[in-house]
Structure 1
Amino acid sequence: MKLIIAEKPSVSKNIADALKIKNRQDGYFEGNGYIITWAFGHLLQLYDAKDYDEKMSTWKMENFPFVPPTFKYKVKSDPKNREKPDTGAKKQLKIIQSLMKRRDVEAIISACDYDREGQVIGDSIIYNLGTDKTVYRLLLNEWTPAEVMRGLENIKLNSELKPLQDAGVSRQWADWVIGINLTSVATLKYQKGKGKALNIGRVLLPTLKIIYDRDKEIENFVPENYFKLQATFQTEKNEEYEGTYIEGKEEKFKSKETLEEIQQLLADKSAIIHDKQVQKKKDYPPFLFNLSNLQGHITSKYKGWTSDKVLKVAQSLYEKKFITYPRTASIALEESLVGKTSKVLEILSEDLPYRDEIKFVKSKRVFDNAKVESHSAIVPTYLKPKNLTQDEAQVYQAIKNRFIMQFMPVAEYEETRIETKIANADLKGIFLSKGKVQLVEGWKKVEKVQSKDTILPLVQVNDPIEIIKHEITSHVTKPPKQHTEKTLLRVMETCGKNYDSDGESEENVHAILNGFSIGTPATRAETIKKLKDVGYISMENKNLVCTELGRKLVETFPIKDLFNLEFTGRLEKSLFDIEKRNFSKNDFLELIFNFTTKAVETIKTEKEITIHEVTTERKPNEVLGKCPLCGHAVIEGQKGFGCSNWKNGCKFVIWKNDKYLASMKKKPTKTMVKALLKNGVAPVKGFTSKKGNKFDANLRYEKNPDNEYFSWKMEFPEKQETKKGDTKTPQVE
């Protein structure tokens, strides 16, 4: 019997389905020689500082820097009460431990995601619980049945993944040390008043600096006027075309007077065709998606999307077996996937109107091991999805379209370049005209990309041309555009090197695949979300801008290395090198601990400045009426409308998720509660019966005479019919 530990319940279900196991127990599946259990992501977390030393329970400057002698793990905290362990995680860990100890279990297989984080999730559970059984690793890029079976036939010893574990643990411990120490001392030094801490992080601050720098560029931008000279020409066949005056390669002139002098030379002059070039050019489809490109594509195309949301939706599609692993930096597929890709293309092309144009080809643009790191690009699997949500459909369609595009004909267009020279005039420059005609639509059919044709007349060199009119147009230089999530992700991905928002240059690919980046595909979206959550940046339409707090932090916080893209890129490169066995975990951690210690001492000796002053204004709770039990105020809580005297034992509450009302597709509202407390009855419209019919009724909420609970009473004024529903009422939170 082999025990498989998956990262999530949905993934364990995929494995069970592939193995045709139907027998589900409490916390695991069992059958056909396998037991399959699951985590909920991280079941364990690193100790808090106070878990190591009681004095760390209060923040005092003299307690820092703090680096524990060894790093320890505990059951992850309850999200609502960090002082208590999460009950679900605790229970699942006990189940996993009992399964690991079963005598009939001869080996353990970690089936967590094949990345740093997935390695740490599986290893932290297995090795903290302890086992002397052989541990294997299941490495998959998708969860389709065929792939699961293939993967189980090719499992590796988990010890072979030690470098990946070292990189994951190094990242986790480093971020803990930097975060705990610098967040604490920065808050103590630079914040007045109690409130959210000044969050300091290894990836957070350089990302903030990218946005800050762009804001400053825009703020300091000085617009400049420039001018163009444009002319309209006519051929002997009375066909018109336009041209722009250029000298060398320059068509923008700072001096209007220069162009006015040239314009005077055009009076009563004719022209000739000086040169004509016609070239057929190819327009290749954009590369396959990696996570950053997918996030950029979706957030710029649709309203209401963030990169964090794109990742969550893509993760859902992955767990439902419809796409391959989404947290990838690669824009190509492994060459070993040629046969499989051909079959996927065949299945997905069946219903397409342009299927006759789709042809499978093994090209370097699609299949290239040199452009793949750990995981191939994101592509669909052979399973055709059904019943997708609107969000899932938008992301899936984008991935599918990008995949299909690779096997459509290359788009082709004809580009014409005409140089018109003024005859008998002493001019350094010529008038340039460019035309473009789409010849082959090709891959552009997939997303109905419209190409604009600019058609020039048919002329030959030395043809005489007449000047119809000419004018000088004035223009103003524009400031750089504010960052969007799309452009920010691109800078993070390449660490600002040779940033090109429109393409995927070989140099960019090289930077990504060699580890020079800010964060990883899995963490960048989370970083942007956190910057918003802690109040360092805000969104204006689709633009990201620094808040006042974010600006003050960049300008005041003295540890400038943390804002430096090169510094952060080198740290990320070191983690990458640990994975490749080119750098040691111990050397990396020593570097981080020394950096943190020096940073804390620097902050301590800096002059006193306030970056953030916390002001707290408590909004008074609106009183909805008097409690029918004790007469105290009834107010709205997170989960219900209840008596404010609940701490002293009053149990009056109307739950927001009341099952009786939910059965008729209704929820209690403030208006309803106010009416019940004031008049004893609330008229409610739009109940839905079991048959789906709509009806109106009056509601009462009355205490039962024989116990402390309340019951709903429904009245129909015309028929005087009533309907009851008991509702238990523990205290409101």
Structure 2
Amino acid sequence: MKLVLAEKPSVGAELARVLGAKQKHNGYFEGNGYVVTWSLGHLLTLKMPEQYHPEWAEWTFDTLPLIPQKLETTPLKQTRKQLAVVKALAKRADISEAIIATDAGREGELVARYIFNYLNFSKPLKRLWISSQTDRAIRDGFDHLASAKQYDNLYQAALARAEADWLVGLNVSRALTIKYDDSLSAGRVQTPTLAFVANQEQKRNQFKPESFAVVTVQTALGKATLKQQYAADKAKQVAASLNQQPLKVTAIKVKQQREQAPLPFDLNELQQVANQKFGYSPKQTLNYLQNLYEREKAVTYPRTDSRYLTTDLKATMADRLQAIRRYHDESIKNPTLPKYVYNDAKVGDHYGLIPTEQAVDPAKLDRDELNIYRLIVGRFIDLFKPAYEAEQLTYTLSAGDLTLTLKTVSVIQPGFKAVEKNQAAKLSIGETITGNASVEMKQTQPPALLNEASLLGKMEQFGLGTPATRADIIDKLQNSGSMAKQGRDLTVTPKGKQLLKLVNPRLVSPDLTAKWESSLKAIEAGKLSRTTFIDEIKTETKALVLEVKQSQAKYEDHSVTGKLCPDCGQNLREKQTKQGVLLVCNNCGYKRYRDPKVTNHRCSQCHKKMVILTGSKGDYFKCLNCGNTEAMSQAKGNKKMNKREEQRLLKKYSQDEEPAESPLAAALKAAMKQD
């Protein structure tokens, strides 16, 4: 029997179906020579400090920096049950080898290796590496399994990244929390990302607009613009002198334009376009894309950083076009892509995002998934269309000592662009043209604030994060209260601005992350050892902690309110969540929403939605429309509820709160309770 480890139950079920493992058990499938199980994402994580030494549980500078002799893993509490299933299967005597079938990337490799190393698995280990979830791709992948040893360097790079983030992130965050008595989190990716937003906001705030006048002449061929700029009064005089005055052609510049269709999307560009066109956050786009990849098998691997295709895909183009035939007309007869799309040297773990050979029924997709699918399909179809070709003529026109510029464009071949073919009229040297002159008053515009699309572009430019992690980093900054959204624009909160002043300057700059990423790629390529890299990180960690300890910077917690905790009397802090502002006590853990929380429970008098309020006897419903109040028990037919039933009712009538905290966040909170 061969043990197959997938990353998610849904993927495991699909692999089992294709492999013929039809017998369903608790946590795995079996049959046809295969046992297919899954990991539920990470089943293990790096140990927290107190798991190495009890004294490290105390949050003081005396224990910093925390640098274990060797970083070790420990099971996650919430997934222990599934880890036990995998362990039992791995110990079975009839298992001859194991196959890693987690996501084909750096993090997927780490998920699997953590597990097999923890279980001391000593039998042969192989690797499934596929870029789509179609039946054909899965079968072909299992027919061409590689030895896991071929991916040892990838695992070493993934492990190096995880260990470095633990050493720097945990030590600096703990140092900041101890120093300033508030849960402050910093890291080599999230901090420079926050700095990008802050710097752009500062540029906008410091911008001073300037007014200027532009003189134009509307001619039969288009708008001619005067090169000089004037004050308003002078511009009006110039416009009056140019009105219907002959403009003589003194020079013509001809430019032939030829533009090929853009390459397929990588994840970063798709997230940018989806944000600009539909307002989706990077995380939303990735979620929709993941559904299209796993559930519908309609697109190739989502977390790709390449826009090129490999040459071995040429034979599949006809089938891919057939699968998306409802999205294009019959004019595409030749299923051959131009040569510039194929470049094996520029494809890393995965090629660009394109449709699979699996046809998809649009009726089965929700609107958002369909929007993302149409973007990918549209970009793919454009590749089969001719290049856009046009001729641009730039005329230099003169009227006395004044010089104007006029541009015309003749579209020779629309190609992949949705424009009409046209032939603009042409002028010759010495010809004249007239038109109506006018003055346009304009003002210099401030630089735009960053939005999620432009922030993704900055992160990619400076090598911050990976296509798989950037969405989570942006989400984390918002959830931590360091960054906020105003419409589609991103701004830095008072807490975030202070954090940037308190944290080490090296963590604010993207240079450190760029250096790390270069080292990680060298580890993947076998040109640098993980040990050498981690030794450098340990030295860096010691210096960073010392800088925080010796800092003279002052901190003011803007989240502290004048409201007191009803349980312990401490001042409550505000925390921004997707469901509203929470008032949280860092001392005892008490929390409630600052504003009344609207539920789906209807008032028995006026049938409007009611809010949940908290009184001396606990939570109750109130109608803000007519003032009617109802005890929680009334919603259950006046039956007295126990605590579990009350919580279940609250969950039913209210939206879910924020997701579970990470171990680091929990540790930060625990530290604040000790004060």
Q: Identify the TM-score tier after normalising by the shorter chain.
A: 0.7 to 0.9
Q: What is the rounded CA distance, in whole Å, between the counterparts of 1:241 and 1:66 in structure 2?
A: 69
Structure 1 length-normalised TM: 0.75
Contact 1:675 1:681 in 2 (8 A): no
User: Unpaired segments of 5 or more residues in structure 2?
Assistant: 568-598, 602-608, 613-619, 651-675
1:585 partnered with 2:585: no
1:653-705 residue CA offsets vs partner (Å, 9 max, x unmatched): xxx999xxxxxxx99996599989679977xxxxxxxxxxxxxxxx83457xx
Give the match for residue 201 of structure 2.
Answer: 215
Could you tell me how far apart the structure 2 residues matched to 1:579 and 1:610 are?
41
CA distance in structure 2 between the aligned counterparts of 1:184 and 1:579, rounded to whole angstroms:
30
1:125 paired with 2:115, answer: yes
The alignment-based identity, stated in percent, is: 27
In structure 1, what is the Cα distance between the partners aligned to 2:259 and 2:162?
43
Deviation at 1:272, TM superposition (A): 2.4
Match of 2:518 in 1: 573
CA distance in 2, matches of 1:592, 1:331: 32
C-alpha separation in 2, matches of 1:680 and 1:356 = 66
C-alpha distance in structure 1 between counterparts of 2:298 and 2:566, whole Å: 49
Q: Does 1:371 align with 2:308?
A: no
Aligned residue number for residue 66 of structure 2: 66
Matched, 1:546 2:489: no
* Contact map agreement 2:481 2:493 (CA 8 A) in 1: yes
CA contact 2:23–2:31 (8 Å) conserved in 1: yes
1:470 matched to 2:470: no
Looking at structure 2, the residues matched to 729 and 554 of structure 1 have their Cα atoms a distance apart, in angstroms, of 42
Q: Could you say what secondary structure the match of 1:355 adopts?
A: coil
Q: What's the counterpart of residue 615 of structure 1?
A: 560
Q: Deviations over 1:408-454 (max 9, x none)?
A: 232333433333222xx3x2x6321112344444323xxxx5x4999
Q: 2:416 aligns to what SS in structure 1?
A: helix
Q: Which has the larger radius of gyration?
A: 1
- Asked whether the equivalents of residues 191 and 614 of structure 1 are also in contact (C-alpha less than 8 Å), the reply is no
Distance 1:482 1:454 in 2: 38
Q: Which letter maps to 2:427?
A: V
Shift of 1:59: 0.8
Q: Which residue of 1 aligns with 2:26?
A: 26
- 1:614-670 superposed Cα distances (whole Å, 9 cap, x missing partner): 52646879xxxxxxxxxxxxxxxxxxxxxxxxxxxxxxxxxx999xxxxxxx99996
User: Amino acid of the residue matched to residue 216 of structure 1?
Assistant: Q
Mapped partners of 1:464, 1:337: distance in 2: 56
C-alpha distance after superposition, 1:702-729 (max 9, x if no partner): 57xxxx999xxxxxxxxxxxxxxxx989
Inter-partner Cα distance in structure 2 for 1:590 and 1:353: 55
Preserved CA contact (<8 Å) 2:414 2:420:
no
What displacement does 1:595 show? 0.7
Partner of residue 700, structure 1: 637
> Structure 2: how far apart are the matches of 1:271 and 1:202?
59
Offset at 1:140? 1.0
- Match among 77, 92, 95 for residue 82 of structure 2: 92
SS at match of 1:442: coil
1:481 counterpart = 2:448: yes
Q: Kindly state the Cα deviation for residue 180 of structure 1 after the two structures are TM-superposed.
A: 1.1
Q: Any idea what SS the aligned residue of 2:404 has?
A: strand
Higher mean C-alpha deviation, range 253-262 or range 351-360:
253-262
Cα drift, residue 177 of structure 1: 0.9
Tell me the equivalent position of 1:433. Answer: 406
CA contact (8 A) 1:359 1:408 kept: no
1:294 aligns with 2:270: yes
Separation in structure 2 between the aligned mates of residue 611 and residue 210 of structure 1, nearest angstrom: 22
The answer for unaligned runs of 5 or more in structure 1 is: 77-84, 234-238, 496-516, 622-655, 659-665, 683-698, 711-726
Query: In structure 2, do the counterparts of structure 1 residues 667 and 96 end up closer, same or farther at CA, with 3 Å as the change threshold?
Result: farther
For residues 308-330 of structure 1, the C-alpha deviation after alignment (integer angstroms, 9 at most, x for no partner) is 11112211221122211111110
Aligned length: 598
| 3-state secondary structure, aligned to 2:560 | coil
Name the amino acid aligned to 2:56: M
Correspondences of 1:373-392 after superposition (within 5 Å): 373-386=348-361, 387-392=364-369
- Counterpart CA distance in 2 for 1:177 and 1:678 is 50
Question: By how many angstroms is 1:30 displaced?
Answer: 0.9
d(CA) in 2 for partners of 1:122 and 1:346? 36
What letter is aligned with 1:392?
E
User: Is the Cα contact below 8 Å between 2:337 and 2:383 reproduced in 1?
Assistant: no
Q: Is the 8 A contact 2:200 2:449 kept in 1?
A: yes
Please say which of residues 53-62 and 103-112 is displaced more in the overlay: 53-62
Change (3 A) 1:729 1:553: closer
Contact in 1 for aligned 2:209/2:445 (Cα 8 Å): yes
- Inter-partner Cα distance in structure 2 for 1:667 and 1:30: 50
- Deviation by residue 1:106-153 (Cα, 9 ceiling, x = unmatched): 101111111111011000001101122111111111111111111111
> Residue type matched to 1:200 in 2?
A
Q: Aligned partners of 1:414 and 1:564: how far apart in 2?
A: 44
Q: Which amino acid aligns with 1:482?
A: L
- AA partner of residue 375 (structure 2): A
- Is 1:173 the counterpart of 2:163 in the alignment? yes
What secondary structure does 2:257 align onto? strand
Indicate the residue corresponding to 1:527 in structure 2: 473
Counterparts in 2 of 1:2 and 1:455: CA distance versus 1, 3 Å: same
In structure 1, the residue matched to 2:427 is: 459
The CA deviation at 1:191 is 3.6
Deviation at 1:488, TM superposition (A): 0.8
Supply the distance in 2 between the matched residues of 1:66 and 1:36 (Cα, whole angstroms): 39
Letter in 2 for 1:474: M
Q: What code does the residue aligned with 1:140 have?
A: I
CA distance in 1, matches of 2:122, 2:485: 52
Is the CA contact 2:204–2:448 (under 8 Å) kept in the aligned structure 1? yes
Shift of 1:480: 1.1
Asked if 1 retains the 8 angstrom alpha-carbon contact of 2:335 and 2:384, the reply is yes
CA distance in 2, matches of 1:614, 1:50: 29
Shift of 1:259: 6.3
Cα RMSD after superposing both structures: 3.3
Residue of structure 2 in register with 1:231 after alignment:
217
Using the alignment, how far apart are the partners of 2:237 and 2:414 within structure 1?
44
Measured after TM superposition, the shift of residue 102 of structure 1 is: 1.2
Partner letter of residue 575 of structure 1?
A: L
Q: Which residue of 2 aligns with 1:110?
A: 100
| 8 Å Cα contact 1:225-1:254 kept in structure 2 | no
1:419 counterpart (392, 396, 415):
396
Q: Residue 443 of structure 1 aligns to a residue in which SS?
A: coil
Does residue 1:284 correspond to 2:265, yes or no?
Answer: no
Q: Distance in 2 between matches of 1:7 and 1:679?
A: 41
- Rounded to whole Å, the distance in 2 between the matches of 1:667 and 1:133 is 60
Asked if 1 retains the 8 angstrom alpha-carbon contact of 2:412 and 2:423, the reply is no
